[in-house]
Structure 1
């Protein structure tokens, strides 16, 4: 044992046995006053003190010695603390009794500061996780389990515990590493993927069922009925067109996701682009009895972007405003390009508006405020999801404001 370690061990024993040593000193003082020679008293005191310090190694230490023992436990970890602090994964080091010996920085940020020496059950209340820890402490085999934290927010962790055998200087002492890997985003993506497949299947199943039913009717009862054939063929065309629109939107979403991290390099004049959008949607607006009004600056206003994708964004927003805000009879498009503020394009309608509880979910795939209303207006439920993906690629935001009975405003902020 090095001299430094020997001195530290002696200091720890002195702290642990101070009450016994104090009692010996009192007895020694009493014997001196009783007339016993000082050298005999000193010799006896040192002998008994040596016996106390040597024998105290195997006796249970009083609670006061806990603070003296904790640095020793930390010394046994060696370079482990600095290594764990470099990880972005919350990690705790436990002893054989599941007491916390060390907590890395990521764990402090996630769970707050935990007192050294506290039992892990003081922080983790999950019976499944505590059972897993107890099993590993008993068997020495690694374990892992999925654990969800609902407060202060929904988080899902893959909790893993594994034994750590310290090197020779740790005298074979076994500790346990408890780590938390955040898989919340993976679970969210899994739910989105499953919801997407379920919704896409549902959206395709309805027109396919209609087509199959009409085909069977045309092959059977309506085989010789020209009027029924004409009516059914018209409906079949509408259903096939609906499926075509849905598949086109799905392909658009897939392409956008592949290019989400690639910023566009070209320049687009929003003044001419918005004029083009109005001209292309004028026939639809005329059929609905809606006028599209543009409020644009006199000169060109350029942004970094891809023209076809931005045309798709504003055609979608203006078309939605015409269809769902038809009652207001007008759709206004404002282009704000003030030097002091952000560049914004706002599409405003004066229809029935959207209830506030629906606003946060409008850009979700297949989310509809009213399913029947959307289908009657030939919507696929993917338009605003496409808009969101395009604007994300263009480093822009979609801001939605609406008031029931007064209309809606969709603002694109570059």
Structure 2
């Protein structure tokens, strides 16, 4: 048998060890670490040359071995991620072959993890590293994802190679729902088995589904009451009150109010639906917010006079520019000012203010509607912008409220990148404050 004269190992045995290390993936991981440290090794190589030039005495075999290892580490090509993803099959002429697999994986919007048959992470893209911290190479998936369903998913695909998918819920740092999918990768003959774990974020979809279900339930409840009332009055008019003129007149007035209430509710539902459909469309038009608030104050003057309320204006005479949709912002301030007149009626005055301030992120436009009515208990403030939420159901219905006004305000301001702040205490009135980023006016 032929032996290496320097080290005394059989060449056949060394070849077997090399094949085993290559097949298991250990050699690739070790070489990857060496490549990542190639600059340090290069410096060490130069330092060794200086030692040799200076005449320091070292064993010749040790010097040759170190020089060989340093040279290999310094010039060894980095392991290619695409070899773990799949054998490309394209030559140097191929356009896709010139694009790094790692670069493509880093651009994916969803988390992606590649792991070996032992569940060890070989690669995780940027989104995965941020979503599932701590997650690095050589992390064991079974320790990072402890849910039994995840273990079953990973082990099942490793066992038979058949792709699988499950719904996975991640609690920390935030509640997130994912569709987790695992499939085997075809790395080619002689390459170690590897697998890819993909996550599709479904949190927003589930949130929308839950909101839709709640919305339908609340809308059905709100419509059921006036419909039941209308049905009852119709049956009464068809029966006992058929020939009672006074009762007929009374019931018809009530039926008209119930029909108007349903019409208002449907109008608000349609308005909210239109706003949600436009939520992704950025506003680009410059408008004068001072003009908008003056328009709202003018349009509500008849309502205020009927309620014996004075609307005071503290609005600058010069234009105050913001990015916005004029019609939507009129709807915002009309809802807020109308609520102030109706629910703050006992205070006899409503103040509409518009100011410009220096905020932490630059100049801001601050619009506020203040009333001096009974105020809102603090426990209700966090929920005021929820659909159909009312502090006092009877009072809201008496004021012809639908429970959707502040929800509409919130959605419009979200599209406009505005912030709504509500300040109120029981017995001390309420102030609704809206903040926008100011536009610089060209003088």
TM-score band, normalised by the shorter chain? 0.7 to 0.9
User: Partner residue of 1:324?
Assistant: 343
| Pair 1:282 & 2:282 matched | no
Q: Distance in 1 between matches of 2:216 and 2:225?
A: 15
Task: Answer whether contact 1:332 1:347 (CA < 8 A) is retained.
Answer: yes
Report Cα offsets for 1:229-264 as digits up to 9, x if no partner: 122111111100101111111222233334441526
Secondary structure of the residue aligned to 2:228 is helix
Q: Distance in 2 between matches of 1:159 and 1:97?
A: 19
CA pair 357-71 structure 1, distance change in 2 beyond 3 A = farther
| Pair 1:104 & 2:112 matched | no
CA pair 166-72 structure 1, distance change in 2 beyond 3 A = farther
User: Partner residue of 2:13?
Assistant: 53
CA pair 60-274 structure 1, distance change in 2 beyond 3 A = closer
User: Partner residue of 1:136?
Assistant: 157
Q: Normalization by structure 1: what TM-score?
A: 0.78
Match of 2:141 among 116, 120, 126: 120
Q: Distance in 2 between matches of 1:275 and 1:86?
A: 48
User: Partner residue of 2:440?
Assistant: none
Match of 1:351 among 340, 348, 373: 373
Match of 1:334 among 345, 350, 353: 353
Which moved further from structure 2: 250-259 or 104-113? 250-259
Report Cα offsets for 1:42-62 as digits up to 9, x if no partner: 97976952178348639999x
CA pair 44-134 structure 1, distance change in 2 beyond 3 A = closer
List runs of 5+ in structure 2 lacking aligned partners. Answer: 33-78, 86-99, 437-443
What is the total number of aligned residue pairs between the two structures?
A: 367
- Residue 158 of structure 1 deviates from its aligned partner by 1.1
Q: Distance in 1 between matches of 2:426 and 2:184?
A: 60
Q: Distance in 1 between matches of 2:410 and 2:330?
A: 13
CA pair 385-105 structure 1, distance change in 2 beyond 3 A = same
Secondary structure of the residue aligned to 1:98 is coil
User: Partner residue of 1:265?
Assistant: 285
Match of 1:384 among 395, 400, 406: 406
Which moved further from structure 2: 233-242 or 353-362? 353-362
User: Partner residue of 1:205?
Assistant: 224
CA pair 160-44 structure 1, distance change in 2 beyond 3 A = closer
Task: Answer whether contact 2:236 2:242 (CA < 8 A) is retained.
Answer: yes
CA pair 394-135 structure 1, distance change in 2 beyond 3 A = closer
Report Cα offsets for 1:283-337 as digits up to 9, x if no partner: 4334444332222224454555454433322221111112222333321111214
Task: Answer whether contact 1:246 1:380 (CA < 8 A) is retained.
Answer: yes
Q: Normalization by structure 2: what TM-score?
A: 0.73
Q: Distance in 2 between matches of 1:337 and 1:356?
A: 28
> What root-mean-square deviation, in Å, do the aligned CA atoms of Structure 1 and Structure 2 show?
3.2
Report Cα offsets for 1:112-156 as digits up to 9, x if no partner: 243533421110011111111111111211111111112221111
